[in-house]
């Protein structure tokens, strides 16, 4: 049994965190972020572009270009905050290091909510020190087309020990819970956008217009 004890029910609690390569950022990332903020009223959602992804090949454009695009994408919503700490830190971007730094920053009591698409969640056991991640943050798994729930069976044992009874429970503890959430399905990926660019096909409506214009102006992903 959980009592939700907001100091003031208008007060927003918790910091959501979405890491990624953002090569480039797209509406799948952004729609996921705003739906989570609207549904659960977390204080903010940090988008954290990695410097060097640990489990995939090097990004197609520079870290500065990926960061510029994320900055352009969030300009309309003050709850979306771009965090360049992985890029500043350079080297391989281990999530455990990032969570450690954010935890130091926000203090021991603030709920941290690490958002992972279903594909990322399924790859979790390959991440550096993955079993420690939950000590620093809750794990908030979002649905992603192509990665349907029957695939999560392998991780059910992991979830069983940690599963939250309700997403609001995430605001009552600083870390330690897993929540699976179904959002509006958007079959958009950065790989798909890069592939369209290579074919010189349109990428309109898959990502914010300023990001599209930046890609076209700089002839990225050709
Ligand atoms: P790539 O195709 O290069 O892997 P991507 O579209 O998967 O790119 P990432 O930067 O790898 O984008 O993803 C960052 C995070 O956002 C991951 O947790 C991923 O699961 C999630 N995510 C990306 N696209 C979507 C989407 N369309 N719906 C839900 N979650 C998504
Ligand atoms: Mg990906």
pLDDT, tens only, 184-198: 999 999 999 999 999
Mean pLDDT value across residues 38-57: 95
Atom of ligand 1 nearest to the CA of 21: 10
Query: Does residue 5 register a pLDDT over 70?
Result: no
Ligand 1 center to residue 108 CA distance, Å?
29
Domains of the chain: 15-187 (3.40.50.620)
Query: Does residue 112 register a pLDDT over 50?
Result: yes
Reported confidence tier of residue 215, pLDDT bands at 50, 70, 90: very high
Ligand 1 center to residue 117 CA distance, Å?
6
Answer whether 142 contacts ligand 1 (Cβ < 6 A).
yes
Mean pLDDT value across residues 153-178: 83
Ligand 2 center to residue 194 CA distance, Å?
12
Query: Does residue 136 register a pLDDT over 90?
Result: yes
Element (H, E) at 72: helix 63-73
Answer whether 24 contacts ligand 1 (Cβ < 6 A).
no
Ligand found nearest the CA of 24: 1
Residues 177-180: contacts with CB under 8 Å, at least 24 apart: 177/134, 177/138, 177/139, 178/134, 178/138, 178/139, 178/140, 178/141, 179/138, 179/139, 179/140, 179/141, 180/141, 180/143, 180/149, 180/152
How far, rounded to the nearest angstrom, does the alpha carbon of residue 45 sit from its chain's CA centroid?
A: 8
Q: What is the pLDDT of residue 153?
A: 60
Ligand found nearest the CA of 118: 1
The C-alpha atoms of residue 130 and residue 97 are separated, in whole angstroms, by 11
Mapped onto helix, strand or coil, the DSSP state of residue 93 is: coil
Q: What is the pLDDT of residue 9?
A: 45
Strands 138-142 and 112-117 come out as parallel
Element (H, E) at 36: helix 27-40
Reported confidence tier of residue 166, pLDDT bands at 50, 70, 90: confident
Answer whether 32 contacts ligand 1 (Cβ < 6 A).
yes
Q: Cβ-count burial of 146 within 10 angstroms (0-12 exposed, 13-18 middle, 19+ buried)?
A: exposed
pTM of the model: 0.93
For residues 54-88, one letter each, b for 16 or more C-beta atoms within 10 angstroms of the residue's C-beta and e for the rest, the string is eeeeebbbebebbbbbbbbbbeeeebbbbbbbbbe
Ligand 2 center to residue 124 CA distance, Å?
12
> Contact 137/17 with Cβ under 8 angstroms?
yes
With the CA atoms of 90, 93, 99 and 100 taken in that order, what torsion angle do they form, in degrees rounded to the nearest 10?
A: -60
Atom of ligand 1 nearest to the CA of 186: 27
Query: Does residue 49 register a pLDDT over 90?
Result: yes
Atom of ligand 1 nearest to the CA of 18: 15
Answer whether 193 contacts ligand 1 (Cβ < 6 A).
no
Mean pLDDT value across residues 111-127: 93
Query: Does residue 1 register a pLDDT over 50?
Result: no
Q: For 145-155, how does the pLDDT look when each residue is reduced to its tens digit (9 = 90+)?
A: 998 766 556 56
The C-alpha atoms of residue 169 and residue 4 are separated, in whole angstroms, by 7
Reported confidence tier of residue 127, pLDDT bands at 50, 70, 90: very high
> Contact 2/165 with Cβ under 8 angstroms?
yes
Atom 30, ligand 1: residue with shortest CA distance:
117
């Amino acid at each position: 049994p959980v009592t939700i004890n907001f100091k003031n029910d208008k007060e927003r609690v918790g910091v959501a965190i979405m890491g990624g390569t953002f090569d480039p950022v797209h509406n799948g990332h952004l729609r996921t972020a705003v739906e989570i903020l609207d549904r659960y009223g977390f204080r903010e959602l940090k988008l954290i572009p990695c410097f060097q992804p640990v489990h995939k090949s090097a990004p197609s454009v520079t870290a500065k270009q990926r960061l510029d695009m994320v900055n352009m994408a969030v300009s309309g919503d003050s709850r979306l905050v771009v965090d360049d700490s992985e890029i500043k830190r350079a080297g391989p971007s281990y999530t455990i290091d990032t969570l450690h730094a954010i935890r130091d920053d926000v203090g021991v009591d603030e709920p941290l909510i690490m958002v992972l698409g279903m594909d990322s969640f399924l790859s979790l056991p390959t991440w550096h020190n993955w079993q420690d991640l939950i000590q620093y943050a809750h794990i908030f798994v979002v649905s992603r087309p192509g990665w349907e729930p029957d695939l999560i069976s392998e991780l059910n044992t992991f979830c069983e020990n940690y599963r939250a009874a309700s997403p609001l429970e995430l605001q009552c503890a600083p870390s330690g819970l897993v929540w699976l959430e179904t959002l509006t399905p958007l079959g958009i990926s950065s790989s798909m956008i890069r592939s369209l660019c290579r074919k010189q096909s349109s990428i309109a409506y898959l990502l914010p217009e300023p990001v599209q214009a930046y890609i076209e102006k700089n002839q990225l992903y050709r």
